[in-house]
A and B are shown apart, each in its own frame.
Chain A
Amino acid sequence: MILRESGLEFDFSDAINGFKFDETDKYSENYHGLSHCMKAVDFIIELENDYLLVEVKDFHDPGQYKESKSFKNLRNNLKTKFRDTLLYRFAEDQLDKPVRYLCLMTLEDALNSRLMKELKIIVPEGIASTRWKHPLAKSCIVANIDRWNKNFPKWKVRRL
């Protein structure tokens, strides 16, 4: 399954299905259509036992800077994208497997480490309340291209 975003190409080699979730083309079968009220992650990938929600930001692309002026904005934006996508999938009745949130951010490791720590708290990752039966996100990961390729050899990414 090959998918492209922000000048990056992903190959999810073990995916059952995968598509661009924030599709803006009206005539595409995966047209999102609610961008006026809901944010969206870039891709949804279906694996045998999991869904991956994937958000990509390549900060080499100048356009991406404007969208996330500060660390806090970036972090909150990532949270909202995840939550809105989850709600959209709930309404689609497509939450039959655990969801894992993967953010590919082309930042240095020190910043990604902090971003991951904060995102895990605000998403939040895992069973966050004793009242919960399921986590919203089973995993919440932030990695740059090097870390991504090292840890996910089945989902290789490369710059186009």
Chain B
Amino acid sequence: MITKIIFNKFTAFDQLEVDCSPSVNIFIGKNGTGKTHILKTIYAACDIIKSKKNFAQKITDVFLPSKGYTGRLVKRSNGSGYGTVEVFRKIKKNEEIKIRLSISNHLKSYEKATVSGSIKRWLESPLESVYIPVKEMLSNAPGFRSLYNSRQIAFDETYADIIDRALLPSLKGPTDKDRRKILKILQDEIEGKISIDSEEFFLRNKQGKMEFSLLAEGFRKLGLLWILVHNGSLLNGSVLFWDEPEANLNPQLLKTIAKILLELQRMGVQIFIATHDYVLLKELHLQALKSDEILFHSLFINDQMEEIEIKNTHNYLEIHPNSIDDAYADLIDGEISKSMGDLGQ
């Protein structure tokens, strides 16, 4: 379980420390406040446990800086400088370890970056992680992996990774009760199950077999979750990163998404979400039980310092600043001005 991450002059951040909930972490904030950067960095630290890649290489591959220059991940400043990231993880009740990456802004290749901390312990203790990027990928899966491996294409590695995770074969043995419950919720919504045939994904239901490219995007997203739960990528102890679950979804489906996220968390999946969506935020708040430890992280730019800061709260009503609700405040101001003119001013 990830417990904390500290950035120092890395990408958009000058100094930022994020304490993580073991359950659900929701990041909100305007564009450019670094929500995706937090998700990607923690994901890179989690993924190397399985892929055994170098942390600096993985970070470079998921951020895709220009020409692959790792040094471009250091926050822009005059002259020479270093950027660091520290990710903390609890592997036993009383054992927290960290992994640290330090990069000079002159660095071209990841190979010269310094990775330190409890690297051996970090890589030895198993952890499953899944990163669902904003753009839906399963309908592009056929041939994507071989293209990604053989050519320079402008897709960061989270896109190739999610296809890899989705193509994993099913786990051996019977599906446990918790996973069956989640699969059932998904099957009721998509009215079928997913099958894979030579890198191509299909929805199988009463009408027959439908390829993903012909499905509504909302169904593809729910289908992806079905696959990840079914093949054991999302299990007790896994970490799920999901960037803007609301993208291309009908708001009606967000109720189901919130329900599934909470069920996954109750099953023991640690969750990191970045969102701009009021309905998703509200549904998570409304459906959460007292025992669900949802932590809302609000990212914002400090007016004086012009640097990104973070505040977190377990209480939905105390999210401040709340960039999502602020958009509604602007609408209210517009309505009042239209209806009242300058009365009261």
Contact = CB atoms under 8 A, between A and B. Distances in A.
Contacts of B331: 109, 113
Query: What does DSSP make chain A's interface, helix, strand, loop or mixed?
Result: mixed
A13 to B, nearest CB: 9
B333 A141 contact: no
Interface residues of B, number: 20
Nearest to B319: A108
A146 B320 CA distance: 13
Interface in B163-222: none
Contacts of A108: 317, 322, 325, 328
Contact of B328 (A113, A141, A150, A152): A113
Contacts of A109: 325-326, 328-329, 331-332
B343 interface: yes
A159 interface: no
Contacts of B337: 151
B345 A151 contact: yes
Given A50-B343, A108-B317, A151 B325 contact: no
Contacts of B325: 108-110
Contact of B345 (A141, A142, A147, A154): A154
Given A116-B332, A143-B332, A153 B339 contact: no
B147 interface: no
Contact of A141 (B317, B322, B324, B336): B336
Given A110-B282, A141-B335, A100 B340 contact: yes
Contact of A151 (B317, B322, B326, B344): B344
Contacts of A140: 339
A28 to B, nearest CB: 27
Nearest to B337: A151
Given A110-B278, A151-B344, A154-B345, A139 B339 contact: yes
A155 interface: yes
B312 to A, nearest CB: 18
A112 interface: yes
29 contacts: A108-B322, A108-B325, A109-B326, A109-B328, A110-B282, A110-B324, A110-B325, A113-B328, A113-B332, A113-B335, A116-B332, A116-B335, A125-B339, A141-B335, A141-B336, A141-B339, A141-B340, A142-B332, A143-B332, A143-B336, A146-B329, A147-B329, A147-B332, A147-B333, A150-B333, A151-B333, A151-B345, A152-B343, A154-B345
Interface of A: 47, 50, 100, 108-110, 112-113, 116, 125, 139-143, 146-147, 150-155
Interface of B: 278, 282, 317, 322, 324-326, 328-329, 331-333, 335-337, 339-340, 343-345
